Amino acid sequence: MGKGKSKVVCGYPLSIFFIVVNEFCERFSYYGMRAVLVLYFKYFLRWDDDLATSIYHTFVALCYLTPILGAIVADSWLGKFKTIIYLSIVYAVGQVAMAVSAIHDITDSDRDGTPDSMTFHIVLSMVGLFLIALGTGGIKPCVAAFGGDQFGEHQDRQRRTFFSVFYLCINGGSLLSTIITPVLRAQECGIYSKQKCYSLAFGVPAALMVVALVVFIIGSGMYYKAEPQGNIMLDVCKCIGFAIKNRYRHRSKQYPKRQHWMDWAEEKYDKLLIAQIKMVLKVLFLYIPLPMFWTLFDQKGSRWTLQATTMDGNFGALVIQPDQMQTVNPILILTLVPIMDSLIYPLIKKCGLNFTPLKRMTVGMLLAAIAFVCAALVQIQIDVSTKQLLHSSPYILSGQGFIYFKLTIKGKANSDSTTVHNTDKATFTLRSGSQSCEYSTNFGFGSSYTFFIHSTLVFGSNCQDSVTAVEDIKPNSVHMALQIPQYFFITAGEVMFSVTGLEFSYSQAPSNMKAVLQAGWLFTVAIGNFIVLIVAELAKIPKQWAEYVLFASLLVAVCVIFSIMAYFYTYIDPTEIEAQFKKKINEDDEDDKSKPGKAEVEMVKRDSIKCHDEYDKATQTKM
C-alpha cells in the first residue's frame, strides 16, 4: 500500500503517474529552452561567443545551487507540495518572459527588422532566466523526494523502480525537446519582418511548463503530503553549533568521552533531532568525493562536443551535427535503465553478489573514467589524422595572376559567408555585373580550401576550368561514430551512479530532511561544474588527450577514496530509527507523569544510553 489516498495500480500508487508526467514535461521545458539559449544570446541579443558562453554556464550552475533554497522552504516551511506549486508558477512565468523577450517586433517601431531597444530584450530575458533557475532548481529536490514519499514503508522495491522510471522521464523529455526546439527555432516568424523564431522555441517549453503544473495539480487529491516540521534547518544549525560549543567547554580530560561529537548537544536538544542530524552528516560526508563524477560527466556538452567538431559526421543518409551527438546520452539512458533494472541487476543478484547502492556508485565512477580513456584514444587518432597544412596560400599566389578566397567546411550550407557546412558537393556562382558562371566541387567535413580564380576567366565559358581549389586542411577522417563507446561508458556510469544516488539520497534521509538531502546530492553537480573550470584553467594541458587522461586518473583516485569511505558506511532505515525514538519518548513521557520530580540531568543520561542502543541496533548493514 502507498501512503496517500491514491488508488494502487499493480502495486504502485496511482499518484506517482502525475509526478512522473510532471517531471517529463518539466525536463522538456528546461532542456528545450537550454538547447537554443546560446544561439539566442549570439544571434538575437548579438552577444559575442565569450559572453554568451559565460552567461550560459552561470545560468546552468545557478540551476544546481537553487535546489538548496527550494529544499529548505519545503522541509521547513511550506512542505513539498506547496513548494512545487509555487515555484512551478515562478518557473512558468520565467519561461513566458523568455518567450516574450524573443519577440523582436515588440520594440521594432521603425519596422526595420531589428529591435530598437536591445536593453528591453536583455533585461526581460535575464529576469526570465533568473526565475527559471529559481523554479527549476527549487522544485528539483522536492519533486524527487515527493515521489519517494508516496511509497509505504515496505515498498522499497517499488520505490527503486519509481526512481528508475523518474530518470527515464527526465531523459525522454529532454531527448524530445532537444530535437524539437532547434527545429522550431529554425522557422521564420514575425509581424513586421520574418526572422528565426526564438519566441516559438521558448514558447513551446513555456507551454510544457504550464502543462507540467496542471498535471501536478490534477493529482493533488491523491498525494500523500508530509507536513513540514517547523524551521528544521535553523534547528539543525543551532543544534550543531551547540554541540561544538559544548564539546569545547568540556574539553578537559575529567569529562567522559561521548560516542559521537553530536552527542554533546544532548543537554539541550531532542534525541531524535540529534539522531537525524547524525544520519544527514554521515551521508553528506560520503558526498564529498562525488563532484568529480559530474566533472567528467558534464564535459559531454563542452569538450566532447568540441571533439566532435573535428570529426566526420556523415552517417550516409544522415548527417549529424557535432552538438547533436549529445542526444546519444538520453537515447542510451532510455535503453540502459530498463536493461539494468530487468536484466543486469537481477542477474548479479542471482549470482549471489550483494551489489549494494554504494558498490553500484563506485562501479559507475569507474565506467566514467573508462569513458574518458576512450575519449583520449579517439583524440589521439584525430591528432594523428590531422596533419594539417598541405600547402600555404602565399606560395601558390606568388607571381601568379590570381584572385583567391578561403573556404572552411563546417556545418550546413550558408549562402552569405565562405563557410560551407558538411556538403559533399557545393556549387558557387561567380558573378561580374549581369554575367555569371557556376563552379561546383566535392568537399569533406572539416576541410579548408583556398580557391584561386584565374584572371583569364571568361564568363559564359566553363567556370570549372578557371578555378583551382587547393586543400589547406584535410577533411576530418575520424568518424563521429567512434565517440559512441565513450558515450556508452559515461551513460552506463550515469545509470549506476546517478539513478542509484538519487534513490540512496532519499532512502538514507530522515523524514524531515528528504528534500534537503536531495539538494545536497544536486549540489555535488554544481561543484562538479566548477571543478571543470578550475582544472581546465589551472592545468592548461596543451594536448587534449592528456587532459582526458588527467581527468580519468583523478576520477580513479577519487573512486578509491570513495570506496574506502563506502566500506565504512552502515546503511540505515531512518523510518525505523525515528519510530524507535518516538516510541521511547512516549514511554518516557508516561514515566515522568507517574514519577514526578525526577532530576532532569539523570533523565538525560539514561535517555542518551538508550538512544545510542536504538541507533546502533538500526544501523547494522555495511557497504
Ligand X SMILES: CC(C)C[C@H](NC(=O)[C@@H](N)CC(C)C)C(=O)O
Binding site for ligand X (CB under 6 A): 27, 31, 170-171, 174, 329-330, 333, 494, 498, 525
Q: How far is CA 358 from CA 59, 296, 354, 566, 622, in A?
A: 31, 19, 11, 6, 10
When the beta carbons of 139 and 358 are compared against ligand X, the nearer one is 139
3-class secondary structure, 412: coil
Q: Tell me which DSSP letter residue 9 carries.
A: E
When the beta carbons of 325 and 437 are compared against ligand X, the nearer one is 325
| Residue 145: CB minimum distance to ligand X, A | 14
Residue 516's closest CA among 161, 156, 224, 229?
Answer: 229
When the beta carbons of 498 and 563 are compared against ligand X, the nearer one is 498
Residue 372's closest CA among 451, 511, 487?
Answer: 487
Residue of closest CB approach to ligand X: 174
Cα–Cα distance, 31 to 182 (Å, whole number): 11
Helices and strands (DSSP H and E) totals, the chain: 20, 12
Q: How far is CA 297 from CA 207, 217, 371, 511, 566, in A?
A: 30, 34, 9, 30, 21
When the beta carbons of 228 and 330 are compared against ligand X, the nearer one is 330
Q: Tell me which DSSP letter residue 401 carries.
A: -
Q: How far is CA 386 from CA 393, 451, 476, 485, 607, in A?
A: 18, 21, 7, 21, 72
Strands 195-196 and 188-189: antiparallel
When the beta carbons of 236 and 368 are compared against ligand X, the nearer one is 368
| Residue 556: CB minimum distance to ligand X, A | 21
| Residue 502: CB minimum distance to ligand X, A | 7
| Residue 156: CB minimum distance to ligand X, A | 21
| Residue 125: CB minimum distance to ligand X, A | 22
Element (DSSP H or E) covering residue 468? strand 467-473
When the beta carbons of 174 and 476 are compared against ligand X, the nearer one is 174
| Residue 425: CB minimum distance to ligand X, A | 34
When the beta carbons of 228 and 322 are compared against ligand X, the nearer one is 322
Element (DSSP H or E) covering residue 440? strand 435-442
When the beta carbons of 310 and 498 are compared against ligand X, the nearer one is 498
Contact predicate 539/246, CB 8 Å: no
C-alpha cell at 583: 516510541
| Residue 539: CB minimum distance to ligand X, A | 24
Contact predicate 511/226, CB 8 Å: yes
Element (DSSP H or E) covering residue 85? helix 79-101
Residue 261's closest CA among 279, 246, 283?
Answer: 246
When the beta carbons of 189 and 358 are compared against ligand X, the nearer one is 358
| Residue 191: CB minimum distance to ligand X, A | 34
CB atoms within 10 A of CB 61: 18
Specify whether the backbone of 615 is left (phi greater than 0), alpha (psi in -120 to 50) or beta: alpha
When the beta carbons of 329 and 476 are compared against ligand X, the nearer one is 329
When the beta carbons of 140 and 196 are compared against ligand X, the nearer one is 140
C-alpha cell at 125: 530575458
SS3 content of the chain, % helix, strand, coil (to 5): 65, 10, 25
| Residue 30: CB minimum distance to ligand X, A | 7
When the beta carbons of 329 and 619 are compared against ligand X, the nearer one is 329
Contact predicate 523/68, CB 8 Å: yes
When the beta carbons of 161 and 174 are compared against ligand X, the nearer one is 174
| Three-state DSSP string of 281-322 | HHHHHHHCCCHHHHHHHHHHCCHHHHHHHCCECEECCEECCH
When the beta carbons of 494 and 503 are compared against ligand X, the nearer one is 494
CB atoms within 10 A of CB 518: 28
Q: Tell me which DSSP letter residue 343 carries.
A: I
Q: How far is CA 317 from CA 313, 320, 479, in A?
A: 11, 10, 15
